[in-house]
A and B are shown apart, each in its own frame.
Chain A
Amino acid sequence: MKVLVPVKRVVDYNVKVRVKSDGTGVELANVKMSMNPFDEIAVEEALRLKEAGKATEVVVVSIGPAQASETIRTGLAMGADRGILVKAEGNVEPLAVAKILKAVVEAEQPGLVILGKQAIDDDSNQTGQMLAALLGWSQATFASKLEVEGSDFKVTREVDGGLQTIKLKGPAIVTTDLRLNEPRYASLPNIMKAKKKPIDDKSVADYGVDVTPRLEVLKTAEPAGRKAGVKVKDVAELVNKLKTEAGVL
């Protein structure tokens, strides 16, 4: 079984983003970029399936600017076999990403696609579900455990009330939650080896997908700030303030 893992290049999760003063977006110049953390978990899970003999090949795919090849290299350095870069400029929305991925899936014929549950830049949490819809495949979002059962899958999902386990008819779409695994770091020898692994260069035009955004971004603004309050000296003062000043007790 081949496993396809889409990965996204995003602002590193340690960076506190700044909104541009003209309200046209967030400052991305000279900001550290990394693989979306949920996608790292997806790559790791695919590699574990391969190491357990359940998967034969792990292919990482990214849709974005030329620099997204660095994100693909990260996946290759972790252990993925090869990459596909679909070059696209500007903002490509989850729906358009899902349409491109559908075309990639049709060409690659994987038995499983593992995606991050959300990208930490736009926080949309849509692409996996949309891809499942377009392919007519089963889906398990927010996975904390994944087991292969022949060509089917058993997935435990993190839901509001706790955990839910479902069985998926393969081929299937799985999106990762935080507790699925802890991704490995790429070792130096593997980083060197990854430089020789193939990355297939494609463009959006190769797939004939219209990526015109459906959502027009009118404005990007700072959130309403919250000011630091006061420090209280002890529990008695805290209780007193909560009771008399804040009125929440």
Chain B
Amino acid sequence: MTTLLIAEHDHETLKDATNKALTAASQLGGAVHVLVAGGGQGTKAAAEAASKLAGVTKVLVAEGPAYEHDLAEPLAALIVALAGGYDAFVAPATSRFKNVMPRVAALLDVMQVSEIIKVVAPDTFERPIYAGNAIQTVKSKDAKKVITVRTSTFAAAGEGGSAAIENAASAADPGLSTFVGEEVAKSDRPELTSAKIIVSGGRAMQSRENFAKYIEPLADKLGAGVGASRAAVDAGYAPNDWQVGQTGKVVAPELYVAVGISGAIQHLAGMKDSKVIVAINKDEDAPIFQVADYGLVADLYQAVPELTDALGKLGK
């Protein structure tokens, strides 16, 4: 059996989500080939990085304008064109592949297994349902498997391979959608899904200015990524790509600091696998304290600057 792993990258560098999905792909037991589809010169660099990953035996590159902006239709058409040679299709559950993989699955007449957290057997997987309040074990009866991987639960595969790089057979662009523009936040902070430390703010932050004044300096002191609860994003205190939770990003950093977040089940679904959870909230009955390793009942407007200062004194 051979598995095709579709790589996550930003058209320049390979993303850590690929390494994590590779760990899941390798557990299926067959050879793993990686498809790197992108636009521009950076695609080659990403493909070279993929060829060095441990356990990868071949890298396929598809470079062209149709793949430059992650549109679903041409990428799905490409994967389907390659499908004959593969028994399983694996991709990290990033927004790009949440968009593309179900389209691939339907074209192959396969029921996708979404956001697996464990490979039990090559055809059997664990996946969370009901915002992670239940874990389902499912066995796929389809001949081909289409799988997305919740990256927060798999370790990243390391380097150690030297796979051959080939050009992928091309597929026609269905031409159904076109790219108009994007607003991508440029930040020096680590990305949420790969950050070792995350500081998140909730509704109690009260404004975007307070995020900048309280949350961001603490995050920067820790070298952390910045997250937010849905309530904070809905209220406009934080951009949508900061949202952690059932319908936002699912994270599992070494340290998660929840500031002014009450802890709705939908938020807990996105962060409860973090190694250490710190909660700062002035409501001592807030549900967040039921999952926090360290809880501080305090006014965040005093405690957060104090914490930022204390870390400064530690040489952070």
Q: Which residues of A contact B (CB under 8 A)?
A: 11, 13, 16-17, 19, 26, 38, 93-95, 98, 117-118, 120-134, 136-142, 144, 154, 158-169, 177-179, 213-223, 226, 228-232, 234-236, 238-239, 241-243, 246, 248-249
Contacts and interface: CB of A to CB of B under 8 A. Distances in A.
Contact of B275 (A16, A214, A229, A248): A248
B141 A249 contact: no
Given A138-B176, A162-B182, A215-B111, A242 B278 contact: yes
A249 B240 contact: no
Interface in B100-142: 100-107, 109-115, 124, 128-142
B276 A133 contact: no
Contacts of A19: 133-134
A117 B247 contact: yes
B76 interface: yes
Given A95-B105, A130-B105, A133-B76, 4 more contacts: A93-B111, A117-B247, A139-B176, A159-B95
Contacts of B112: 94-95, 124, 126
B294 A16 contact: no
Contacts of A167: 177-180
B246 A133 contact: no
Nearest to B132: A223
Contact of B294 (A117, A132, A220, A230): A230
A95 B311 CA distance: 51
Given A162-B185, A230-B295, A123 B240 contact: no
B135 A239 contact: no
Given A161-B184, A223-B128, A248-B197, A243 B314 contact: yes
Interface of B: 10, 69-73, 76, 94-96, 98-107, 109-115, 124, 128-142, 174-185, 191, 193, 197, 230, 233-234, 239-241, 246-247, 249, 254-255, 265-266, 272, 275-278, 284, 289-298, 303, 306-307, 310-311, 314, 316
Contact of B230 (A141, A178, A223): A178
A26 to B, nearest CB: 5
A122 B113 CA distance: 11
A162 B183 contact: yes
A17 to B, nearest CB: 5
Main SS at interface, chain A? mixed
Nearest to A126: B102
A94 B295 contact: no
Contacts, number: 257
Name, among B100, B275, B291, B293, the residue most crowded by chain A CB atoms within 10 Å (CB to CB): B293
Name, among A128, A144, A169, the residue most crowded by chain B CB atoms within 10 Å (CB to CB): A169
Contacts of A158: 95, 240-241
B180 A120 contact: no
Contacts of B181: 164-165
A11 B298 CA distance: 35
Contact of B177 (A169, A179, A214, A229): A169
B282 to A, nearest CB: 13
A246 B294 contact: yes
B114 A214 contact: no
Given A122-B129, A124-B114, A165 B294 contact: no
Given A129-B72, A159-B96, A219-B136, A214 B110 contact: yes
A220 B134 contact: yes
Contacts of B114: 123-126
Nearest to B269: A123
Q: Which 6 A-B pairs have the closest CB atoms?
A: A138-B176, A229-B293, A129-B102, A214-B111, A130-B106, A133-B106
Contacts of B191: 160
20 contacts: A94-B112, A95-B106, A95-B112, A120-B131, A123-B246, A124-B112, A133-B104, A134-B106, A138-B73, A139-B103, A141-B98, A158-B240, A160-B96, A163-B240, A167-B179, A213-B111, A218-B138, A221-B135, A231-B284, A238-B296
A140 B286 CA distance: 37
Contacts of A134: 106
A133 B142 contact: no
Nearest to A168: B177
Nearest to B185: A162
A215 B141 contact: yes
B294 A238 contact: yes
Nearest to B187: A161
Contacts of A218: 124, 137-139
A99 to B, nearest CB: 9
A167 B180 CA distance: 6
Contacts of B298: 234-235
Nearest to B291: A226
Contacts of A242: 255, 276, 278, 294
A243 B313 CA distance: 13
